[in-house]
Chain A
C-alpha cells in the first residue's frame, strides 16, 4: 500500500514535470539499473564543465588533457538538459546552467560554447529542465554534424544511463 502510494505520488510528480506522455515512459533508460550500469558508473571518470578546456581564445578552444585522456572512456557529468525540440528524444544538449532561451526554436538565440551533446541508444522522454541531471557514458571528441538536424557537436557522450539529481 505504502509502495503504491509512493509510485502514485511519483507519477504525479513526473506528470507535473511534463515527463509523462501517452507513450510508456522508458524508465529503464532513465534510471540506473543495477547491477550492470551502476558497476560501470562507479568506474566512470567524473568530469565537470570547468575541467573540459585548457585554454580559450577567439581563435578557438583547446581541450584539457583530462578531457583528451578520457576520450573513448566512460565519464560521468552533471548538468542541465536543454529543452529539446520534441518530448521524445534521441539526443539532447547538456549545459552548465539551465537554458534561458531555446536555440532550437529562437532565431536570435545561440548555444553557449561549453555544451555536451548526449546521444541515446533508445529514445527517452525528456527529464525536467530546471533540475540538474547526471549522465554516464562513453566520451567522444571531434566535430560531428547530426545528419537529421545539422546540429554541430564537438564533445559527445554516448549515454549508458541518465539520472535526475
Chain B
C-alpha cells in the first residue's frame, strides 16, 4: 500500500470525472482540497502506549516485539489480535516490568504469518488503544538476486545539484552530463519524518529503510518505550537479519563515517540511543546480524580501553573477536589492497574516528588535517572490494554503502567538501552499475538520501571586480557560470576554489562568519561559549546571525523531502511520493523474501 493511496484513488476518480475540463488542471485544483476533506486532527497521546504503532506495516514473517506501556504500576494488561488473546495468538507468554515510572507488558519475538490487515487492541487500567496494521508478502515478478542500497547522508536535491555542477558542468545552458545516480530508470520523492517528529536524524531515517517501521530520533531498529534502558525497547527485525535468516545471503556495510554511526549501524542493530557505539561495535560480532564485510572509520569503538585512542569503557578487543571469527582485518589502504582476493570476510577500519573527506584525503593531504592517517582507502575502492567479496555468495548479497560526509560537511557549512564527497558517492554508484551490467542485471540498486539540509544555490560568487561579501554574490543574469574545471577528467574539479564559485546559502544555521570561499583547513562555523554557540573567530567574512536556537552550534537537518533513484529488478516499485519505510518494502519485494522461512 502506498502513501495516502486511498485519497489518491478518490482524487483519480474525480480527475476522471472532470477530464472533460482538462485533467491536469483539475487534478492540481482538486487533489489538495480532497485530501483536506479527508480531515486530520492533532493527535493526542494515548495513555496506553501500544508498540508497534498504529498504521505500522510488516513483511509477513518479520520478527518483532509487541509492547504495551502505561504510566505507573499496572498488571492488568489485556491485549488481543483480531479479537484473539495475544498470548494465545502468538503462542507466547508476556512479561511485565516496572521501571522509571512506567509499566511495560512485552510479548517478544513474534511475527504475523498471514498477509492482510490486523487489528490489535490493548487495554490497561481500563484505558484502551487500538492499532491497525498491514502485513504484506508482495513479491516482484522479476526478482533481484542482490540489493545495493546507497545512502547519501543529508544528500538533498540541492546537494546533488552542487555535485552535478562541479562534476559535469554546463554548456549552452545544458548539463554536459548527469550524475550516475541520475541516470536510473525510476525515481521517487521520499518523505522522511519519524513517528516522533517532523524532522529526523540519521538513525531514525536509516531505521525506516532497514526495517520498514518508523522510529524516533536517535533510535534504530526499535520503537521507543519510556524506560531509561536503551536496550529494552521493542525491536523489529531489520534487512540484514532478514536476508541472512531467510536466504543465507551475504551482507555488508561500508561508510566513510564511524562504522558504528547511525546509518550503517541501523542496518543491523537495535537501540534507543545511537550514541551506544561501543555496544554497536560488539553486537556486530553476533551471528544473526553479523555483516560479512564491514568497512569504514571508527576503530576507536573496536579497540580495548587500555589502548590509547580507544573510546571503549571495557577491555573487549572487538577487532580480535572478528579475527577469531575468520575475518581479515585491514587498518589502512595498503592492507586492504593486500587482502587476498579469496577472503570472504573483511573488517576494515581506516581511522580512529570518521574517515577524512575526499578533498583532504585525496587532494590536499595536509598532515595536520589527516592527523597521521595518510593511507585511507576511498569510498569507491571500498565499494569495489565489498562487491567483489560479497558476490561470491551464491544466495546473493545485500550491501549498504553510505556517503556519510555529505551530511557531516553540510553540518559545518562546508558545501565544497560535501560536493566532492557527493561526487565520490556517485562514482561508487558507478561501480555498482558496472557490476550489475556485467552480471546479468539481477541487482537492484537504490540511491537515496536520508534527510535534507538547508543549503541552496543562490548564484555565483566572485571578487573579480573588487566587490566582496554579499555585494559579490551574483544573482540572476549576473550569476553567469562558475569556473570549475575538470581537465584531468577524473570527475572532480581540479580546484575547489576557482575564480567564480557557487554562492551557497544555508537556511538554518548558528551565528557564523561567511566569506563564500573554500576553506583550506576544515573549520567549524561556530564554537561553544558556555551554553551558546558563537561565530568561530577563526572564520573570516561577514557576520551572519544565526536563526536557530543558540545551543545549536551546527547547521541542522531540514524536513525537506528527498529523492530516491533506482534501477534493476524491483525498481519499478519506486515512483511518486512515498513514505521512507517503503524503501524497505521495495527491497524485500525485489528479493522475494518469505519472512516465515527459517523462523527460530
User: A residues bordering B, Cβ < 8 Å?
Assistant: 17-18, 53, 55-63, 82-83, 97-102, 105, 107-108, 110, 112-114, 126, 128-130, 143, 145, 150, 152, 154
Contacts and interface: CB of A to CB of B under 8 A. Distances in A.
Contacts of A97: 524
A58 B350 contact: yes
B95 interface: no
A61 B554 contact: no
Contacts of B346: none
Contact of B309 (A99, A110, A113, A130): A113
A63 B308 contact: yes
A63 B308 CA distance: 8
A107 B275 contact: yes
A73 B528 CA distance: 32
A113 B527 contact: no
B529 A128 contact: yes
A53 B537 CA distance: 28
Interface string B513-530: 000000000001111111
B353 A113 contact: yes
A57 B351 CA distance: 7
Interface residues of B, number: 44
Most buried by A among B309, B352, B531, B536: B309
B319 A130 contact: no
Contacts of A58: 299, 331-332, 349-352, 373
Interface string B321-342: 0000000000110000000000
Contacts of B353: 110, 112-113
A154 B308 contact: yes
A150 B313 CA distance: 8
Contacts of A128: 529
A139 B240 CA distance: 47
Contact of A130 (B308, B525, B537): B537
A112 B351 CA distance: 12
Interface of B: 201, 218, 273-275, 299-300, 303, 305-313, 319, 331-332, 349-353, 371-373, 412, 524-531, 533-534, 536-537, 551, 553-554
B307 A59 contact: yes
A130 B319 CA distance: 38
Contacts of A126: 530
A100 B554 contact: yes
14 contacts: A56-B371, A58-B373, A59-B303, A60-B307, A98-B536, A100-B554, A102-B553, A110-B353, A113-B300, A113-B353, A126-B530, A130-B527, A150-B313, A152-B305
A110 B274 CA distance: 12
Nearest to B274: A107
Contacts of B201: 108
A31 B533 CA distance: 26
A100 B536 contact: yes
B528 A110 contact: no
A111 to B, nearest CB: 8
A100 B331 CA distance: 28
A114 B308 CA distance: 10
Nearest to B335: A58
Contacts of A83: 528-531
What are the 3 closest A-B residue pairs judged by CB atoms, nearest first?
A100-B524, A56-B372, A58-B299
Nearest to A103: B275
Contact of B553 (A17, A61, A101, A114): A101
A145 B313 contact: yes
A105 B528 CA distance: 11
Given A57-B332, A107-B273, A113 B352 contact: yes
